[in-house]
Structure 1
Amino acid sequence: MTEHRVPASPKSLSRRDVRTLVLASLGGALEFYDFIIFVFFAATISHLFFPPGTPDWLGDLQTFGIFAAGYLARPLGGLVMAHFGDKLGRKRMFTFSIFLMAVPTLLIGLTPTYATLGYAAPVLLLVFRMMQGAAIGGEGPGAWVFVSEHVPPGRVGLAVGMLTGGLTGGIMLGSLMATAINTALAPAEVAAWGWRIAFLVGGVFGFLAMYLRRFLHETPVFEEMRRRAGLARGLPLRQVLAGHRRGVAVSMFATWMLTAGIVVVILLAPTHLQRLHGLSPAETLRGNLAATFCLTVSAMLCGWLLDRFGSLRVGVAGALAMMGATYALYIGAGLRPDLLVPLYALAGATIGVIAVVPYVMIHAFPPAIRFTGVSFAYNMAYAICAGITPPLLTLLLALDRLGPAHYVAAVALVGIATLVANGRAPRSLAPEPAPAGGHAR
């Protein structure tokens, strides 16, 4: 298929476009808060939801196993919602995903512990966590497709950048909530009831975000496909796998780079830096907050740059910067612990390059199967890569104290190779013109 170049002069965003971007980004931040808050209270949950006397290592393993179950549920949930998103409409699934997240988050905050329910407590926790995973599997891909199909072609980068910034902002909200609870309450109070606040607030946030999405409209691209009777026929996934394997491969390799930045630098680096350099949790938390804030802002900036310079130049420059900043963080935190916060902030800023990933993915698939293509590639890659990264880093750290930085560098090089192979000209996001005298198929 011949690809179409995006117009060189981007059009201005209308007031409706701006409202769509703001509401979508806010909803994404609230939903990612719900998904990520679990990890900040993992130690407390492990003591409350498993039998007394369970060794700490086993309790942690069980708790993080339940956390990981959320990632394993992502592909299935994402595919189901993407299927109906391509068939019935983007907005319906975009709204349903946040409902599916709000309910289990609220229920986790209300679930009795092992002392009351026995083994039913961790089973319920597992079920609720898998519901959260299914919801987040549809949220990210659905949100990127939704906003990209709303804005003018020359503003797609800004749209996915703002949305990506909103999603990462949810991680920052989770970190701030955990900090506030642990600062305001004594450890015994956190264990007794304080941890529940984070989940109850998250559930309320979710229903608020669902309400706000009532004011959004279906995407013009989907409405045009429906008008032309150009919606996907049969199983969208079958069409993705049969005719768009290259798009799937490009999207999965690009997502691998995204997971390296988020999982290694944002989620796991605080633990690594504490163990490698003896830094306190408070020090690494301050650095992590700075990094997440800079990531949120830089993702939006990266999106703006994408509309002007394209995915190749922005992606290659950003990936190289991420490599250098990750090495600077892991080396500099040991040599100059007093510079941890600025070093971590710099690393977070370079991870804003992940905005190139949704930009590449949404251009890799035609409109009729775009939601399914993005969801399948992104969630499969995230489940695999995010699943293997923690144990792999444990092995690498046993061999080399810079193992995590080496891993990020290697994956960034894969990302660069992927962007180079993908080329410069993205596919048009609009439906293909209908044949004369008939409907688009």
Structure 2
Amino acid sequence: MDPHQPVTLRRQDYTTLALAALGGALEFYDFIIFVFFATVIGQLFFPPDLPEWLRQLQTFAIFAAGYLARPLGGLVMAHFGDKVGRKKMFSLSILLMALPTLVMGALPTFATIGVAAPLLMLLMRMLQGAAIGGEVPGAWVFVAEHVPQQRVGFACGTLTAGLTAGILLGSLVATGISTWLSPADISAYGWRIPFFLGGIFGLIAMYLRRWLHETPVFKQMQQRKSLADKLPIQTILSQHKRSIVVSMLLTWLLSACIVVVILMAPTLMQKQGITAALSLQANSLATIMLLLGCIVAGWAVDRFGAPRALLVGSVLMGICTWHFFHQFHSSTATLFASYALAGFSVGVVGVVPFIMVSTFPAAVRFTGISFSYNLSYAIFGGLTPIFVTLLLQVTALAPAWYVLILAAVGVLVSAYLLASQRGRAVLSEVNI
């Protein structure tokens, strides 16, 4: 086949992509809805006499615990995903996310059971983290191994947009609750609603995934008897160290950008006097632009190559996010415009899964991505809210400086890929 000839996705490819994105969106919603209600959760699940900064720090620490649980859960599911099949683990992960989310919505508060309240919330967050540790790498591998090779970039970018649609859903639900309910009602019962919704919809998504089929790549490995003959984790640690480093750096870029620009920004804006409803409305617009940015980034990968798409996208992100954190307090119009541009620029994360899927061979792909992604997410995604919160005691522009560093990381990784044989070959290794 002519590599320059356009390749279109088949109806089955679109179905696979849609079902994978739907389930992933609901899992992301379940995982991040916590942060949109961080303020009220902090008030309800910790002693009332704590200083406000310490209450916020401890609340974000519970949020971070979900990231710290990712590596173990993701590694276990990835191991079996490489050994017994992608689909089985892909379906299991969403069940393991939905159940703890339902429980979180029903938890009693500190006023009712004391210190047991934050401990139970912590436990549920860790169970959520273990589930999503297998979901995201599994979704990328599942979709990349289904679609035509020439459209893997677009598929990965679109799937990432679908996953982050869960953030948009969380933002919309949080906006609706903040708009329609009074602060007293939110504290009394309103904060529980999004957790119940997420758990129920997660169970529905699990049912829908039963219509998915095992990936052609995994079926071929079974037929050829070319599945990993030893522990996949041993193979990636001994033979794919550079791929691990590249994947971890890119995961830092992906995780921390979304955490700071999309998840933390509404809370940070509220601390500077912007109302909860206005900050969440702006956040919804920024998240819509993030979805568009992910799709554009995926298209750019297929058109120009992943290293170049990453380079241009990282520079754009550095410029747009710097402007946002410097200008959002100027006026409502400036807030919406600058946040929208910042959200679109963060869409560069749509490049990340393509590079990660391409850099590991099929026999250990799930494990390689899961190990790198979840370990990095546990370190950088989990600690970023705490680190930025502490830096805010020094400078109000801590988020801007942090994202600027991430943009520099993206530029350096793209330069490495452009200069290396690995970077030039990264377009041709998604399939066996």
Which bin holds the TM-score, normalised by the shorter protein? over 0.9
Q: Which residue in the other structure is 1:83 paired with?
A: 79
1:328, 1:364 → 2: CA distance? 34
Q: Which residue in the other structure is 1:437 paired with?
A: none
Alignment of 1:157-196 (within 5 A): 157-196=153-192
Q: Which residue in the other structure is 1:425 paired with?
A: 425
2:132 to 127, 130, 136: 136
1:350 to 325, 334, 345: 345
Q: Which residue in the other structure is 1:16 paired with?
A: 12
1:279 maps to 2:279: no
1:74 maps to 2:70: yes
Task: Tell me if the contact between 1:311 and 1:424 (Cα under 8 Å) persists in the aligned partners.
Answer: no
Give 4+ residue runs of structure 1 displaced > 6 Å after superposition: none
2:210 to 197, 214, 226: 214
Shift in Å, 1:125: 1.6
Identity %: 56
Q: Which residue in the other structure is 1:33 paired with?
A: 29
Q: Which residue in the other structure is 2:234 paired with?
A: 238
1:331 maps to 2:326: yes
Shift in Å, 1:417: 1.4
Task: Tell me if the contact between 1:87 and 1:232 (Cα under 8 Å) persists in the aligned partners.
Answer: yes
1:124, 1:10 → 2: CA distance? 52
Q: Which residue in the other structure is 2:107 paired with?
A: 111
Task: Tell me if the contact between 2:217 and 2:362 (Cα under 8 Å) persists in the aligned partners.
Answer: yes
Partner SS state of residue 328, structure 2: helix
Query: What amino acid does structure 2 have at the position aligned with 1:188?
Result: A
The superposition leaves residues 181-205 of structure 1 with CA deviations (integer Å, 9 ceiling, x where unpaired) of: 2222222222222221111111001
Partner SS state of residue 425, structure 2: coil
2:370, 2:416 → 1: CA distance? 21
The superposition leaves residues 244-278 of structure 1 with CA deviations (integer Å, 9 ceiling, x where unpaired) of: 001001111111221232122112233444556x4
1:48 maps to 2:49: no
1:340, 1:140 → 2: CA distance? 31
Task: Tell me if the contact between 2:27 and 2:97 (Cα under 8 Å) persists in the aligned partners.
Answer: yes
Cα distance 1:149–1:180, how it changes in 2: closer, same or farther (>3 A)? same
Cα distance 1:188–1:396, how it changes in 2: closer, same or farther (>3 A)? closer
Partner SS state of residue 147, structure 2: coil
The superposition leaves residues 268-324 of structure 1 with CA deviations (integer Å, 9 ceiling, x where unpaired) of: 233444556x43333322221111010012211211221111102211111111011
Partner SS state of residue 393, structure 1: helix
Shift in Å, 1:6: 10
2:133, 2:431 → 1: CA distance? 24
> After alignment, is 334-343 or 174-183 more displaced?
334-343
Task: Tell me if the contact between 1:256 and 1:415 (Cα under 8 Å) persists in the aligned partners.
Answer: no
Q: Which residue in the other structure is 1:197 paired with?
A: 193
The superposition leaves residues 124-182 of structure 1 with CA deviations (integer Å, 9 ceiling, x where unpaired) of: 22211111011111111110010000001001011111110011110111111112122
1:372 maps to 2:373: no
Alignment of 1:398-437 (within 5 A): 398-422=393-417, 423-426=423-426, 427-431=428-432
Task: Tell me if the contact between 1:10 and 1:155 (Cα under 8 Å) persists in the aligned partners.
Answer: no
Q: Which residue in the other structure is 1:255 paired with?
A: 251
1:309 maps to 2:304: yes
Query: What amino acid does structure 2 have at the position aligned with 1:183?
Result: T
Query: What amino acid does structure 1 have at the position aligned with 2:254?
Result: L
> After alignment, is 371-380 or 256-265 more displaced?
256-265
Partner SS state of residue 230, structure 1: coil
2:331, 2:43 → 1: CA distance? 35
Task: Tell me if the contact between 2:24 and 2:135 (Cα under 8 Å) persists in the aligned partners.
Answer: yes
> After alignment, is 39-48 or 57-66 more displaced?
57-66
1:130, 1:109 → 2: CA distance? 15
1:296 maps to 2:297: no
Query: What amino acid does structure 1 have at the position aligned with 2:372?
Result: A
Query: What amino acid does structure 2 have at the position aligned with 1:285?
Result: L
Shift in Å, 1:44: 2.3
Task: Tell me if the contact between 1:99 and 1:210 (Cα under 8 Å) persists in the aligned partners.
Answer: yes
TM-score, scaled to structure 1: 0.91
RMSD: 2.1
1:125 maps to 2:121: yes
Partner SS state of residue 305, structure 2: helix
Partner SS state of residue 258, structure 2: helix
1:413, 1:29 → 2: CA distance? 29
1:319 maps to 2:314: yes
Task: Tell me if the contact between 1:7 and 1:154 (Cα under 8 Å) persists in the aligned partners.
Answer: yes
2:192, 2:304 → 1: CA distance? 46
1:362 maps to 2:357: yes
Partner SS state of residue 150, structure 1: coil
Query: What amino acid does structure 2 have at the position aligned with 1:218?
Result: E
Partner SS state of residue 228, structure 2: coil
5+ residue gaps, structure 2, are: 418-422
Cα distance 1:191–1:272, how it changes in 2: closer, same or farther (>3 A)? closer
Q: Which residue in the other structure is 2:383 paired with?
A: 388
The superposition leaves residues 328-368 of structure 1 with CA deviations (integer Å, 9 ceiling, x where unpaired) of: 11223245553110110011011111011101000010000
Task: Tell me if the contact between 1:6 and 1:153 (Cα under 8 Å) persists in the aligned partners.
Answer: no
Partner SS state of residue 424, structure 1: helix
Q: Which residue in the other structure is 2:420 paired with?
A: none
The superposition leaves residues 367-425 of structure 1 with CA deviations (integer Å, 9 ceiling, x where unpaired) of: 00000000111111111112332343345545554432232222212212112212232
2:192, 2:342 → 1: CA distance? 32
